[in-house]
Amino acid sequence: MEITQTHNGRVQIKGTWLSWITMCYLLMWPINTELNNRSLELANRQLERFVSNQRMLDLELKVQPVLASYNVGLDVDMRKWHTLLQPKVARMHSFQTRLQLNSEASLATVTQAVQDLTNSEVSLKPEWLKLQTDPLLHGFYVYRNDFIYLRSFWENVLRDGNLIGDGTTYNLTGNWSSYASYTGRMRASRLPMMALPKKIRSCLKPPKCYYYVSVDLSNVEFRIAAALTRCQLAQLRFRQGIDIHQHTGRALLKYVPLISPTNEMVHQLGKRITFCILYGGSTRAIVNIFEQLLDIRITISIADAILAAFFDEYPELRKLQRTDVQWVQTLWGSQPLLVPLKRTQRINLPIQLMGSFLLKLGLCVTSKAATPIMSVHDEIIFLVRDSVKDKDFMRTVQDELEVAYQQAFPQLALNKLFQFTIYR
């Protein structure tokens, strides 16, 4: 497998053309690497030497034709979506009224008004705003989040979505790049499809004679971490079908015994603490999660105890914390890492890399069963004809995915991995 031709910033491999930027991402080179004879020679040498590069490139070539179906897009009832967004709109207008501004005021105008009232330079960085105790600055933090959310998921949809029929239905598509980061994650360059909020699912409006089916890879990142490190207890719990985040959240409640959160809050607490620790988060980050989610401030010593207890329970996961600035570990061995990444990014990289591999593999093996029209996070959404029974379709997809994943990644726990949702 080698690059055989080049043309206008693109390279040809096994008859398929890829952008040179895509190749740089795949090889984990700086994306500004010049395409010339020397870089081509080095690229082919790396492709020949490292199995990981070969496997990821082979999958990349297979997923390219599947992406053509992504032009179908998702149909959304914009009246329902607008109704769901109304509370954010009302909250923004309330804050603008508090500043004695009209509802048409720009973000710059609102920012200036807050600066004038607080007699300070207001940072637009969310990390800074989140830490402020002044009620006005907290209100501005909420306002700015609402502003960005509405711009992304309302204004951009109206601008970039395709109008259908009477104007109440919009079709969402997004110029997909199949290899748009060093983790192999996909990305839409127009609408932020990978960040589509879950609430938009209730507004989906499938075309006549079709329905949508979503298959979500449940807890896939933690499953991948457990499989890569051979973490026995985590893998056992996944195979037993235990809600691992609920289990972790319940264990964490002993550190704050005087509260009684809902089951959903317990699950979210377990999930956020798990991924904070898994991706190298600090004890300060653990403190912040308790404060944000439960409105409780724990001490640094308690956060230290939580961190120690987590690795006592899952000691194998410590392997992910030991990173090398020049190499990244994959299922198929190590490969060079020629881009400077932060420590947390290097910890994250092997897990995200395998996550993207599983998602693309899923797209390839299921594309004959129906049309995969979008992937969002760890989820694939299919367009299925009404003539196909939903139970038959889900059984077919699950069988195909289980066989493909078992062959590619035998250590991965598959029990309750696939979560299906139907939208009619």
Q: Please work out, in degrees rounded to the nearest 5, the angle formed at the alpha carbon of residue 21 by the alpha carbons of 16 and 24.
A: 95
Q: Give the span between the Cα atoms of 231 and 221, in whole angstroms.
A: 13
Asked if 180 contacts 186 with a C-beta cutoff of 8 angstroms, the reply is: yes
**Which stretches of 268-404 are assigned E, i.e. beta strand?**
327-330, 333-336, 371-376, 379-385
Average pLDDT over residues 267-277: 95
Tokens of 355: 């996550």
Average pLDDT over residues 59-76: 86
pLDDT number for residue 252: 92
pLDDT of 71 higher than 90: no
Ranges 115-124, 257-266, 315-324, 339-348: which has the least confidence: 115-124
> Between 165 and 112, where is the model more confident?
112
Query: What is the topology classification, in CATH, of domain 51-73+173-229+332-424?
Result: Alpha-Beta Plaits (3.30.70)
Confidence of residue 85 (pLDDT cuts 50, 70, 90): very high
> Between 159 and 304, where is the model more confident?
304
Query: Considering the entire predicted model, what is its pTM?
Result: 0.88
Q: Please work out, in degrees rounded to the nearest 5, the angle formed at the alpha carbon of residue 152 by the alpha carbons of 272 and 279.
A: 25
pLDDT of 129 higher than 90: no
Asked if 347 contacts 320 with a C-beta cutoff of 8 angstroms, the reply is: yes
CB environment 192-212: b (16+ within 10 A), e (fewer): ebbebeeebbebbbbeeebbb
* Measured distance between the N- and C-terminal CA atoms of the chain, rounded to whole angstroms: 44
Confidence of residue 80 (pLDDT cuts 50, 70, 90): very high
What are the C-alpha distances in Å from 298 to residues 115, 191, 255, 258? Answer: 32, 39, 8, 13
Residue 30 burial class via C-beta count within 10 angstroms: exposed 0-12, middle 13-18, buried 19 and up:
exposed
Ranges 72-76, 84-88, 211-215: which has the least confidence: 72-76
Residue spans per domain, the chain: 1-49, 51-73+173-229+332-424, 77-167, 232-313
pLDDT number for residue 321: 87
pLDDT of 201 higher than 80: yes
